[in-house]
């Protein structure tokens, strides 16, 4: 059987393998297949392509979308029967699924293999323990010619769940090589763009991103996002299309900035385009920094409370004396205290919980003016907890001395301390 490999580049071998496994439509095939490979390496598209091409009855269900058994089962039945009436295929246990599948099979008078594809099959592991083994045995359970195909990013051994599960036939989709990625990205170029011109652009994109990202979907998104920036000087008539070096110089800073935002999607694509369009008009490639969402405005005392909480979380209680008691005298520097144990570094190990009293003591000693301990102050603490800047540890009923943890990062607290002209690094044991 021949196929058209141009529709899906770089997956010819997998398509051929699947076609040979499926074989003649009326033949019995493996009761279950397991297809795995990294995300966006063409598993679903290849399966769809092959099943469409062979014109065999099939249904593809996504296990993330079908979040309960009854939704999953009715999606299968609806897909196979082509009947969109929601009510008619209601079924919530495997017994009814088996009966209804037989009904559909007989009503359509099929005699060929029927394929049921479960995309994101790793989700099935979270369901009841016997669902997955039952689905894998579907051919035997219904004694009809079904083939169940599980598609997942995880290897098969992650599916063992201790109840004994028959191993399906495993098909692996290898990741794309760099040149294959280039080929595919070129294949998806916008209409009316010269292939060679785009190819050169793609090679720049790959050079910048390939170390950090081999996910086709993300690379495609990035290349589409930045292509207009790349084209702009050509459109404005500043450079020629063949001026590769100049174009590279022009687009590189934009791509470098995109690399800082890889996968993060802090701004929407539209905003990103706009942001980079402004810089287009000017000749200089000075980039406006993306607005830092890491800082938020807080009341005066809240900021100090947060700083106090940070210090309490990251310093050992034994060192408080050294930082906050006036005339504490020079601390004796013994050989033991000099040698810092990396294991005890709380910036590596994470914040410790501290009692409220300790935080208040630090707070009073870092705020210059005298602050009466009013309800106002304490209400600000609970505000910080609601903002998830502090976390309350322990049970709700410990009201006499609640314990907290500070959950902000060093960068965040440094930014806050800077606005208060408070040099926080001087007060942190890890940096002394």
Partner 1 sequence: MSKMDKTLLENAKSIIKERLCKSGYSHNVRADIDIAALDLGNLLQRTVEFGESNSVLVVGAKGSGKSTLINRVLEDIHNDSKNAKNLLIVKLNGYLQTDDRIALAEITRQLKLENTIGDKVFGSFAETLAFLLEALRSGDMSKSQPIIIILEEFDLFAQHKNQTLLYNLFDIAQAGTTPLAVIGITCRLDVMELLEKRVKSRFSHRQIYICNPSTLENYVQQFTDVLLLDKAFGKTAKHKAFVKKWNSHVENLTKNSSVLEILHKQFNYCKEASPLHQILFLPVCSLSQEHQEITPADIAESSQLIFNDSKANILHGVSVLELCLIIAMSHLTNIYEGEPFNFQMVYNEFLKFSQKKSHILQNYTKPVVLKAFEHLIELELLKTKDHFMTHSGKLQKEYRPMILLVDHSQLREAVAKYPGCPTDVKQWAESSIV
Binding site for partner 1 (CB under 8 A): 17, 20-21, 23-24, 26-31, 36-38, 41, 93-95, 98, 130, 133-134, 137, 139-141, 153-158, 164, 166-167, 169-170, 172, 174-175, 177-178, 210-214, 256, 259-264, 343, 347-351, 391, 393, 405, 407, 409
What is the spatial distance between Cα 380 and Cα 131, in angstroms, rounded to a whole number? 50
Give least dist CB 276 to partner 1, A. Answer: 18
Looking at the Cβ atoms of 283 and 396, the one nearer to partner 1 is 396
Give least dist CB 141 to partner 1, A. Answer: 6
What is the spatial distance between Cα 72 and Cα 127, in angstroms, rounded to a whole number? 11
DSSP letter (8 states) at residue 177: P
Looking at the Cβ atoms of 233 and 402, the one nearer to partner 1 is 402
Give least dist CB 3 to partner 1, A. Answer: 15
Give least dist CB 4 to partner 1, A. Answer: 19
CA pseudo-torsion sign 339, 342, 348, 350: negative
Q: Which tokens go with 35?
A: 């297809």
What is the spatial distance between Cα 42 and Cα 101, in angstroms, rounded to a whole number? 29
Looking at the Cβ atoms of 88 and 95, the one nearer to partner 1 is 95
Give least dist CB 139 to partner 1, A. Answer: 8
Give least dist CB 239 to partner 1, A. Answer: 26
Contacts 24+ apart (CB under 8 A), 182-190: 182/206, 183/9, 183/10, 184/9, 184/10, 184/216, 185/216, 185/219, 185/220, 185/223, 187/9, 188/220, 190/224, 190/227
Contact 77, 69 (CB under 8 A): no
Residue labelled with tokens 């099935």: 124
Give least dist CB 331 to partner 1, A. Answer: 26
CA distances from 34 to 25, 150, 286 (A): 19, 5, 50
Looking at the Cβ atoms of 129 and 331, the one nearer to partner 1 is 129
Give least dist CB 235 to partner 1, A. Answer: 29
Contact 354, 402 (CB under 8 A): no
b/e sequence 98-123, b meaning 16+ C-beta within 10 Å: bebbeebbeeeebebbbbbbbbbbbb
Looking at the Cβ atoms of 263 and 378, the one nearer to partner 1 is 263
What is the spatial distance between Cα 287 and Cα 259, in angstroms, rounded to a whole number? 14
What is the spatial distance between Cα 303 and Cα 193, in angstroms, rounded to a whole number? 53
Give least dist CB 334 to partner 1, A. Answer: 25
The DSSP line for 389-422 is: SEEEES-TT--SS-EEEE---HHHHHHHHHHTT-
Give least dist CB 411 to partner 1, A. Answer: 8
Instruction: Determine whether 350 is exposed, middle or buried from the number of CB atoms within 10 Å of its CB (0-12, 13-18, 19+).
Output: exposed
Count of other CB atoms within 10 angstroms of residue 246:
14
What is the spatial distance between Cα 50 and Cα 220, in angstroms, rounded to a whole number? 24
Looking at the Cβ atoms of 158 and 249, the one nearer to partner 1 is 158
Give least dist CB 367 to partner 1, A. Answer: 26
Looking at the Cβ atoms of 343 and 370, the one nearer to partner 1 is 343
Looking at the Cβ atoms of 371 and 410, the one nearer to partner 1 is 410
Q: Which tokens go with 263?
A: 């996968």
Looking at the Cβ atoms of 212 and 328, the one nearer to partner 1 is 212
Looking at the Cβ atoms of 21 and 193, the one nearer to partner 1 is 21
Looking at the Cβ atoms of 393 and 420, the one nearer to partner 1 is 393
Q: Which tokens go with 383?
A: 């505000």
Q: How far is CA 122 from the centre of its chain?
A: 16
> Nearest 5°: CA angle at 247, between 241 and 253?
155
């Amino acid at each position: 059987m021949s196929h058209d490999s141009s529709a899906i580049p770089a997956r010819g071998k997998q398509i051929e393998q699947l076609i040979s496994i499926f074989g003649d439509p009326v033949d019995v095939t493996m009761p279950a297949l397991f297809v795995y490979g990294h995300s966006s390496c063409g598993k679903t598209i290849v399966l769809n392509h092959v099943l469409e091409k062979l014109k065999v009855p099939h249904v593809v269900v996504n296990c993330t979308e079908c979040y309960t058994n009854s939704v999953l089962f009715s999606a299968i039945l609806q897909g196979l029967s082509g009947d969109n009436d929601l009510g008619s295929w209601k079924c919530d246990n495997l017994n009814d699924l088996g009966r209804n599948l037989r009904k559909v099979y007989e009503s359509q008078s099929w005699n060929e293999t029927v394929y049921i594809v479960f995309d994101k099959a790793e989700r099935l592991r979270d369901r009841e323990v016997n669902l997955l083994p039952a689905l894998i045995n579907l051919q035997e359970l219904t004694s009809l010619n079904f083939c169940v195909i599980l598609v997942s990013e995880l290897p098969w051994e992650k599916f063992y769940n201790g109840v004994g599960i028959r191993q399906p036939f495993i098909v692996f989709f290898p990741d794309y090589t760099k040149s294959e990625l280039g080929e595919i990205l070129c294949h998806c170029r916008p209409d009316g763009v010269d292939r060679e011109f785009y190819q050169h652009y793609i090679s720049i994109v790959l050079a910048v991103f390939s170390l950090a990202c081999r996910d086709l979907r993300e690379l495609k998104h990035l290349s589409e996002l930045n292509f207009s920036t790349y084209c702009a000087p050509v459109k404005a008539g500043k450079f020629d299309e063949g001026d590769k070096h100049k174009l590279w110089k022009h687009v590189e800073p934009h791509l470098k900035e995109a690399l800082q935002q890889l996968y993060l999607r802090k701004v929407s694509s539209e905003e990103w385009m706009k942001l980079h369009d402004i810089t287009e008009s000017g000749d200089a490639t000075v980039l406006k920094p993306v607005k830092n969402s890491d800082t938020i405005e807080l009341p005066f005392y809240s900021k100090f409370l947060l700083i106090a909480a940070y210090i309490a979380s990251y310093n050992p209680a034994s060192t408080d004396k050294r930082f906050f008691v006036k005339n504490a005298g020079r601390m004796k520097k013994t050989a033991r205290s000099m040698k810092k144990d990396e294991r005890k570094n709380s910036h590596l190990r994470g914040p410790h919980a501290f009692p409220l009293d300790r935080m208040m003591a630090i707070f009073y000693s870092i705020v210059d003016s005298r602050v009466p301990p009013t309800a106002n102050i304490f209400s600000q603490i609970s505000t910080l907890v609601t903002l998830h800047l502090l976390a309350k540890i322990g049970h709700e009923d410990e009201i006499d001395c609640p314990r907290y943890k500070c959950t902000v990062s060093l960068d965040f607290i440094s930014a806050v301390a800077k606005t208060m002209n408070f040099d926080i690094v001087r007060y942190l044991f890890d940096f002394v």
